[in-house]
Structure 1
Amino acid sequence: MGDDTNTPGSTRICARCDRSTDEPHAVTVEGASGPGWVGYLCPACHSRRSATLADPLAVAAAMRQAREGGTAR
């Protein structure tokens, strides 16, 4: 019944490059018309994703500043 994501030898398909990987990283994939779902990324795609993610606190601060009449950059 458990998730075998971290079990050695478990193979998943990368949601970004469609290659199989024996070292999957579970990520949430956002759905445009509904809830997101859990997908998997290979180590190479996961490292690129991690490097390009926006800081959620910086995004929230920019949104708050824009709402209060400042400019968001």
Structure 2
Amino acid sequence: MKIIKAKIKLYKGKNKRKTPFITGYRPLFQFLEGMKTSGQIRLLDQEFLLPGNEAVVEIYFLNTKYLGGIS
């Protein structure tokens, strides 16, 4: 398992996310065409992330095949 810390923005608007999420959200991440993996997001500085807002998060990747040299 790999853990990275990142600042993310949850976009809002037409064809974008319309609902917030909480710690434990497990989206599918796509790095390149055909390279997808699941990860779990942990919000570090707030209870939930609303569309249009930014947050500092930790992302836990179980499958590290597409993460390259991240250690």
Q: TM-score surpassing 0.5? A: no
User: TM (normalized to structure 1)?
Assistant: 0.28
Is the strand fraction higher in 1 or 2? 2
TM-score by length of 2: 0.28
* Greater RCO (CA < 8 Å, at least 6 residues apart): 2
Larger Rg: 1
